[in-house]
Amino acid sequence: MDEIILMKNIKKRFPGVIALDGVDFYANKGEIVSLLGENGAGKTTLMKILYGLYTKDSGEIYIKGKKVDINSPKDAINLGIGMVHQHFTLVNPFTVTENIILGLKSNKFTINIENAKEKIKDYMKKYEIIVNPDVKISELSVGEKQKVEILKILFRDIDILILDEPTAVLTPQEVKELFKTLKILKNEGKTIIFISHKLDEVLEISDRIIVLRNGKISGERDPKQTNKRELAALMVGKEVFDVISITTSEKKDVVLELKDINALSYRGHIALKNVSLKIRGGEIVGLAGVSGNGQKELEEVISGIKKPLKGKIFFKNIDITNKSPKERINLGIGRIPEDRMELGLILDLPVFENLIVECYDKNPFSGRIFLNYKSIENFCKKNVEEFDIRTPNISVKTKTLSGGNLQKCILARILSMNPEFILAAQPTRGLDVGATEFIHKKLLELRDKGVGILLISEDLDEILNLSDRILVIYNGEITGEIEKSEIEKGKISREEIGLMMTGTKKEELHATT
């Protein structure tokens, strides 16, 4: 193989943090190289340097044997390098087509939108990634937005494709189609750098696997000669195990109840159809489903962002249907939002302000006029230590933290309010095995303390490992309820749950098996 990328002795420091400490990295033409590492290990930083989003402090970069300086994404694109980011870089008011062609060169003053749309449709057909080209980004689900990001980069003439957690929001079927696309690109001679925390996927798609830890290469492996346990140990420096709920806690009274909830999507379609459910204190109820089947609308209705068309919501027998998000928080409802970057945190604020943003107006943080900064400092330092939030100090801007540490900030903030119910939407999406293990343990600890939890996740393993009960949602309807004991006794299989996720109701399933 021909070496197409060579990065030598790359160093990068942020305030109080050594992000990369002399990293050497290479990739060959027609090769898929996976980068593994904990959140904050340096893998995304390394690729952002290759893409021109960050500048290296020292080191050398060679592309196709030529030494280059990459000072901007424009430089990278001109060198044939494209990157699909973990967190979306789309313009919400623009359509899918407008986002895909945004920034493309044209010999004329204007670009023919209709011609571009037809070309985009050809790409959609070729790679089997279907999204309505006329819909605005703001109206898309998270999974659909990720598809647009992938289409946007495929639409450009690139030789090197960097994918940062591309499958975090995709269903297993969509992942299979993406891998088919990547293999086509590889066979065309494209070089693909695949950043992921999903070890099964890395082992399946990679030609080589490189692991980073604390800003240094901790190992390189051939996927045919390694396994998940070894890779996880290389990532975190110790063995990591799946957290599985093998016990149940004592169930208490109903904390949250939905009665016949109907709600619209942002496109004006019915997204939730007569959804009814109950969640008791001391249980985790998992909501399983393929992206775009009403999970987002359910999250927004429960949190108070969206008003239902009809139906009622009760929290501890109190009608909260028309209460604001702030009122619901004050009553004891905590929320881990699906999109931590846009909805969970204010990234330009310092860490300490994000930790108190939902309780700054309460004692001991607020007097009648002024904030008590000493109390705030003590509180935030305690939470940073307890939740292992890796930050130089509590005054740095929150946007400098890695994905896992952002999620820990949200969890720390929620738990400081002592909630009785938590809505956890995609709580470990894009997180490494260490951060995922931490979040899962915290959720189980909360359940055992009597907190009721609704776990919305597209990761079926996460649902199966943590839930006491599972509800399946399809096309805005609950298609069935499964008790943990039914799975343990073999009365229902993972594959049968998959059938329910694609529209088969539980009673229909049992009628045919």
Structure tokens at 214: 């604390």
Pick the last residue of a domain from 205, 236, 267. 236
Residue at 481 is within a domain: yes
Supply the pLDDT for residue 342.
80
Residue at 117 is within a domain: yes
Average pLDDT (78-91) is 87
The strand order across the sheet containing 469-474 reads 333-336, 421-425, 452-457, 284-288, 469-474, 477-483
| 473: nearest Cα among 218, 251, 296 | 296
| 235: nearest Cα among 259, 209, 272 | 209
Local structure of residue 251 (DSSP, 8 states): P
Strands 421-425 and 333-336: parallel
Model pLDDT for residues 10-45, shown as the tens digit of each residue: 999 987 788 999 999 999 999 999 999 877 788 989
Residue at 360 is within a domain: no
Give the model's confidence band at 116: pLDDT under 50 very low, under 70 low, under 90 confident, else very high: confident
Helix (H, G, I), strand (E, B) or coil at 475: coil
- Same domain membership, residue 201 and residue 64: yes
Supply the pLDDT for residue 146.
78
Among 14-28, 94-108, 201-215, 378-392, whose mean pLDDT is lowest?
94-108
pLDDT reading at 57 higher than 60: yes
| 452: nearest Cα among 247, 242, 274, 250 | 250
pLDDT reading at 386 higher than 80: yes
Residue at 414 is within a domain: no
Structure tokens at 263: 């709600």
Supply the pLDDT for residue 513.
44
- Same domain membership, residue 154 and residue 66: yes
Average pLDDT (148-159) is 86
- Same domain membership, residue 328 and residue 186: no
Domain tally for the chain?
2
Bridge partners, residue 213, by sequence: 216
Strands 191-195 and 32-37: parallel
Sequence-distant (≥ 6) Cβ neighbours of residue 162 within 8 angstroms: 47, 50, 51, 81, 82, 83, 84, 192, 193, 195
Which range of residues forms the domain containing residue 23? Answer: 3-236
- Same domain membership, residue 276 and residue 165: no
Among 39-43, 204-208, 479-483, whose mean pLDDT is lowest?
39-43
Residue 122: how many other CB atoms lie within 10 Å:
10
The dihedral over CA atoms of 181, 184, 189, 195, expressed in degrees to the nearest 10, equals 30
pTM of the predicted structure, to 2 decimals = 0.67
- Same domain membership, residue 318 and residue 266: yes
Give the model's confidence band at 276: pLDDT under 50 very low, under 70 low, under 90 confident, else very high: very high
- Same domain membership, residue 65 and residue 171: yes
Strands 3-14 and 333-336: unpaired
Please report the sign of the dihedral spanned by the C-alpha atoms of residue 296, residue 85, residue 391, residue 24: positive
Give the model's confidence band at 70: pLDDT under 50 very low, under 70 low, under 90 confident, else very high: very high
The residue type at 150: I
Supply the pLDDT for residue 358.
84
**CATH number of 506's domain:** 3.40.50.300
Residue at 368 is within a domain: no
pLDDT reading at 498 higher than 80: no
Average pLDDT (245-266) is 84
- Same domain membership, residue 187 and residue 57: yes
Pick the last residue of a domain from 236, 268, 301. 236
Average pLDDT (367-387) is 84
Strands 208-213 and 270-280: unpaired
Give the distance from CA 126 to its chain's centroid.
Answer: 26
Highest mean pLDDT among 146-155, 212-221, 243-252, 373-382: 212-221
Residue at 381 is within a domain: no
103: left (phi over 0), alpha (psi -120 to 50) or beta: left
- Same domain membership, residue 323 and residue 183: no
Could you tell me if 463 and 487 are in contact, meaning their C-beta atoms sit under 8 angstroms apart? Answer: no
Element (H, E) at 143: helix 142-154
pLDDT reading at 241 higher than 60: no
Average pLDDT (366-371) is 74
Strands 160-164 and 81-84: parallel
Supply the pLDDT for residue 245.
59
- Same domain membership, residue 337 and residue 231: no
Supply the pLDDT for residue 166.
83
Supply the pLDDT for residue 293.
87
Local structure of residue 88 (DSSP, 8 states): -
Q: How does DSSP assign 378-446, residue by residue?
A: HHHHHHHHHTT---S-TTSBGGGS-HHHHHHHHHHHHHTT--SEEEEESTTTT--HHHHHHHHHHHHHH
Model pLDDT for residues 288-335, shown as the tens digit of each residue: 987 778 999 999 999 999 999 999 999 999 999 999 999 999 999 999
Residue at 374 is within a domain: no
Bridge partners, residue 75, by sequence: none
Supply the pLDDT for residue 244.
62
- Same domain membership, residue 123 and residue 28: yes
Pick the last residue of a domain from 236, 262, 278. 236
Sequence-distant (≥ 6) Cβ neighbours of residue 322 within 8 angstroms: 307
Query: At 113, phi and psi to the nearest 5?
Result: -65, -40
Please report the sign of the dihedral spanned by the C-alpha atoms of residue 103, residue 106, residue 109, residue 112: negative
Angle at which helices 433-448 and 403-415 cross, to 10° = 10
The upper half-sphere exposure of residue 115, i.e. CA atoms within 13 Å in the direction of its Cβ, equals: 4
Residue at 21 is within a domain: yes
Average pLDDT (439-452) is 93
Supply the pLDDT for residue 4.
92
Supply the pLDDT for residue 374.
85
- Same domain membership, residue 290 and residue 190: no
The strand order across the sheet containing 310-315 reads 270-280, 254-264, 310-315, 318-319
- Same domain membership, residue 142 and residue 169: yes
